[in-house]
Amino acid sequence: MIRSERGVWCIETERTGYYIARRGDLAEQLHYGRKIRPDAGPLREKLASSYCTDAIYDETWDAGVSLHHVGLELSPVEKGDFRRPALEITMPDGSRVSDWKLREEKVLPASPEADGLPQAYGGGECLALCFENEWGVRVEALYTPYDECDVIVRRYRILNGSGAPITIRRAMSYQLDLPRSGFLLTTLTGAWAREFEPKTQPLAAGAAAFGSTTGASSHYCNPLFLLSEKNADENAGEVYAFNLIYSGSHQEWVETDSFGRTRVEAGIQPEGFAWTLAPGEVFDTPEAVLTFSGEGKNGASRSMHRFVRAHVSPRRWSSVERPVLVNNWEATYFGFTEEKLLQLAHTAAGLGAELFVLDDGWFGRRTSDLRGLGDFDVNLDKLPSGLDGLAAGIEREGLRFGLWVEPEMVNEDSALYEAHPDWAVQPPKGQPCRSRHQLVLDLCRTQVQDYLIEQLDNVLSSAPITYVKWDMNRHHTDRFSSALEEQGRFAHAWMLGFYRVLGEVTRRHPDILFEGCASGGNRFDLGVLCFFPQIWLSDDTDAWERARIQSGASLGYPQSTMGCHVSAVPNHQTLRVTPLESRFDVAVFGAFGYEMDLTAVTPGTAACIAAQIAWFKEHRVLFQQGQMYRLVSPFETDECAWMVVSEDRTQAAVLEMISLVHPNSAQPPLRLAGLDPDRTYEIGVRPQFLETERFGSMVRQAFPELGQVPELFPCEQGGMTASGSLLMYAGIRRRQRFGGFGIAPDVRIMPDFSARIYLLKALPE
Ligand code: GLA
């Protein structure tokens, strides 16, 4: 809701408020946090006389004001605010001096469309604060509240009203001046197969700058980050969370000044960026997403999750149950035949899978990652019946058919490159860097965008394809495009080209479920999620690594957005062996599937997988659409626990996982969250099995009564009832874990990396 009260603009959501007041020709930021009844008087920065060295902004209207001490919605540049301004623009005279004066304040019925950029939908009114500088350049600061998810979306729109060209050099999407310091900054950094590692650091003096320069939002540093007050934890304390609706290189900037204030900014990566606007032209920054929680990090995550589900994720898919898929990549890599794929599909169908996905290697000369990208003709050596023939075979098994593509790239060994070498991004002189033997296609060129749209359209119309995994496997380098007069535009223009292709292909194929991917989570962001409801989170499918990666990503992304698969052991990324049930228990908290050679598993494993799939289908809505809470952090302990709770709080599921066993270690009560304190819940453990070989030479002691030792044995069973209040405020005491002694029905056998899922059902009131 947007309203004006006693001269204060109030941008409010259910529990948060952002307050701004005019101060002369400035827009002063008064408060962002818990909702208040505002009053400009007590909230204003008090400045009656300058600090000795201050540069006074305008002696005529507010004697003491140095911009350096005021919270600002948009900082005038070179006017005494020595913190980093959100916008830096070279004016027609070559200077960057810019005195942004607030000229107009208006409430628009909705946020204006940002040309070529993905945007959140379903917001209401939008506050526009319109600034103008001495050249007649206008900037609109736009604010849209999303009530029920406590999110405020911000961005700037720059209009060149100066009559001469100007060049934008730094285009952040917002600046937020918090009148406090001492925050803890949590960033989500990582690498390939190690995405979303939360790293928390205290902010003392100076600026923390982070982000990506790779051409994608990147696994090195996701645009999601958090600022928490010192004692905040998962469930208590004040926490701000920030994200961008953007998939390209980005920068985040958190600056603590000498007067105990904190400036926060995020937007397009300024390194190498220059965007000249001709007179009359407009530039939109990507939308930024801000939330505040007084209920710790889980509170901020809950708001972000709701926002993504209701206002980012394509409407068509927001409450659609995602199919149980089987992907052939780790089963066959490039070495598949049509026969092998059909065998795999046959086995998968028998186990209960719903969708078969053919990964990399089906097209052109693609026998390895050395060649073929750029081409879309079917490789008939591998698939003699073509895609439609294969799809028909898959459908005969009762499965839907899905396909992998990597359209943004080209191998030099491909028909496309031979025909159009100039379509690949190359430096004007010298050699381009190769990565995975491939080059990036120049999506700054409309011709290349059109080629991709048409090729993809043809392929997707050539067979009954219901799902697409859209991959992108390298960072950008050698950024130069002969289509651009100004090379500083490259990174952002490429992104706009990418969004055009995404928009057009998804518009033409609205019933295809698209899953983004970039060597796993190298482009896991809200920009992609505006088009694709899910993204392959990581190539690392080791159960414990996934517990960590999914925990980190859950800080800002709901589980329905995360592609999560059960894969073989030893795991292909870590060479680690984890129990099959643990791999399942972790993967069900996401868009779930299997990525292993199901034709090669033992009968016991096959039976176990069939039971897993049947169980998952019964509880799929809870896992994919329930509200997720983090309970125990795998980054701080040897354990990980999460839970999901249904919207009406009558159902919940809890994951408990351990990493390395320390025999006879403490098992404190496990406190749950999100339940109805007044309801009574029935708690049961999901029926699970463990590989008997875990007992090694102890197997006879473990099963003295059995003649032939089975491949798998059932884990403990049994349930109990408890009130929501007990479960949340006292916590549940779990059964003892095996610690070298006592194999008894009441002892939980939990070797390294084992897990359990508990299911909670509210009893009728
Ligand atoms: C990337 C993806 C994998 C797989 C391969 C295929 O690494 O992340 O899941 O699709 O490409 O080449």
DSSP class per residue in 318-368: TTPPPP-EEE-HHHHTT---HHHHHHHHHHHHHHT--EEEE-S--BTT-SS
Q: Which of 130-144, 447-461, 518-532, 698-712 has the lowest mean pLDDT?
A: 698-712
d(CA 720, CA 638): 26
Q: Provide the percentage of residues in the chain whose pLDDT is more than 90.
A: 93
172 lines ligand 1 (CB under 6 A): no
pLDDT (average), residues 198-215: 97
The pLDDT value recorded for residue 146 is 98
Buried b (16+ CB within 10 A) or exposed e, 409-426: bbbbbbebbeebeebbbb
pTM over 0.75: yes
* Element containing residue 61 per DSSP (H, E): none
CA of 20 to the centre of ligand 1 (A): 47
| pLDDT tens string 593-619 | 999 999 999 999 999 999 999 999 999
The pLDDT value recorded for residue 700 is 83
- Pocket test of ligand 1: the residue of 327, 404, 409, 535 to mutate, having most ligand atoms within 8 Å of its CB, is 404
| pLDDT tens string 754-764 | 999 999 999 99
The pLDDT value recorded for residue 63 is 66
| pLDDT tens string 209-231 | 999 999 999 999 999 999 999 99
pLDDT (average), residues 322-328: 98
The pLDDT value recorded for residue 523 is 98
CB 602 within 8 A of CB 568: no
The pLDDT value recorded for residue 746 is 82
Task: Name the average pLDDT for the chain.
Answer: 96
515 lines ligand 1 (CB under 6 A): no
517 lines ligand 1 (CB under 6 A): yes
Cα distances (angstroms) measured from residue 407 to each of 103, 192, 373, 508, 525: 46, 20, 8, 16, 19
Residue 538 phi, psi dihedral angles, 5° rounding: -165, 145
Structure tokens at 677: 């304190």
471 lines ligand 1 (CB under 6 A): yes
- Pocket test of ligand 1: the residue of 332, 336, 360 to mutate, having most ligand atoms within 8 Å of its CB, is 360
CB 81 within 8 A of CB 72: yes
pLDDT above 80: residue 117: yes
Indicate which residues carry an active-site annotation.
Answer: 471, 539
Which residues does 612 contact at the CB level (< 8 Å), separation at least 6?
566, 581, 584
* Confidence bin at 434 (pLDDT 50/70/90): very high
| pLDDT tens string 390-432 | 999 999 999 999 999 999 999 999 999 999 999 999 999 999 9
CA of 644 to the centre of ligand 1 (A): 29
Nearest to 231 by CA among 257, 204, 258, 202: 202
CA of 591 to the centre of ligand 1 (A): 17
pLDDT above 80: residue 61: no
| pLDDT tens string 675-684 | 999 999 999 9
* Confidence bin at 1 (pLDDT 50/70/90): very high
Ligand 1 atom nearest to 469, measured from its CA: 10
359 lines ligand 1 (CB under 6 A): yes
Q: How many CB atoms lie within 10 A of CB 286?
A: 28
* Confidence bin at 47 (pLDDT 50/70/90): confident
d(CA 25, CA 531): 40
pLDDT (average), residues 238-258: 98
pLDDT above 80: residue 548: yes
By DSSP bridging, strand 126-132 and strand 101-108 are antiparallel
Q: Which residue has the tokens 């720059």?
A: 158
CA of 519 to the centre of ligand 1 (A): 5
Cα distances (angstroms) measured from residue 547 to each of 215, 352, 502, 743: 28, 25, 30, 27
CB 70 within 8 A of CB 36: no
495 lines ligand 1 (CB under 6 A): no
The pLDDT value recorded for residue 311 is 98
CB 440 within 8 A of CB 427: no
Structure tokens at 401: 């058919």
Nearest to 536 by CA among 522, 526, 547, 548: 522
| pLDDT tens string 263-279 | 999 999 999 999 999 99
Q: Does residue 742 or residue 133 have the better pLDDT?
A: 133
Nearest to 76 by CA among 8, 24, 128, 18: 24
pLDDT (average), residues 353-382: 98
CA of 711 to the centre of ligand 1 (A): 32
Q: Which of 123-132, 402-411, 535-544, 699-708 has the lowest mean pLDDT?
A: 699-708
d(CA 760, CA 682): 6
pLDDT above 90: residue 703: no
